[in-house]
Chain A
């Protein structure tokens, strides 16, 4: 199916473990983003990528690592999970219009992560 998918949809892990959240899009969008959503903080940008092999930090990058070897995939890794990383994680993508600021972002279904 076309669109943007995330896996797993739900994950429970323990403090200190490494966790990787997957994001896959079939639109060939250049830009991909990772957000976390927490009560009281709304949606916050963790990392983004403008193209394969180009990534940059967002508002709350500490404790997270990303890579983008293929345009369609943008995995997010928590190298050593902490309880404060319990959250709902959303991946999003958008087209590139030559530097235009008019790009709409489309979101995946989200991953609910609990760190015990």
Chain B
């Protein structure tokens, strides 16, 4: 079983709709969770971090964490064509240093 799993997609969502991206992880001691956005040919860009159970909102983005279910999600409201990218879920564990384990990413396409 992979440590961090994401549906690779592609996920196609109409403009203006809500895009929902999901991620599960296997290590129960994980304490920090991140969502990165990566445009084609570019580097990962941190868009959300979440550390406690529940929801965290930042503009059109909402991260949701459920540690009991080992599940983290990202909702993008009012999706725009500029949101089309690959979204990487990363889970952090402190083992001498903050290490991130990445999922393989979900490719999201927003259709005008």
Interfacial residues, chain A to chain B (CB-CB below 8 A): 31, 40-43, 45, 48, 50, 56, 58, 90, 94, 99-110
- Which residues of the other chain, A, contact B46 by a CB distance below 8 angstroms? 104-106
Are A110 and B97 within 8 A (Cβ)? no
Interfacial residues, chain B to chain A (CB-CB below 8 A): 31-32, 34, 36, 42-46, 49, 51, 88, 90, 92-94, 96-100, 102-105
A90-B43, A101-B31, A105-B100 are known; give 9 further A-B pairs, CB within 8 A. Answer: A45-B100, A48-B97, A50-B96, A101-B92, A101-B98, A102-B51, A105-B98, A107-B45, A109-B43
Given contacts A42-B103, A42-B104, A42-B105, contact A103 B44 (CB under 8 A): no
Given contacts A102-B32, A105-B100, contact A110 B43 (CB under 8 A): yes
**A41, A50, A103: which has the most chain B beta carbons within 10 Å?**
A103
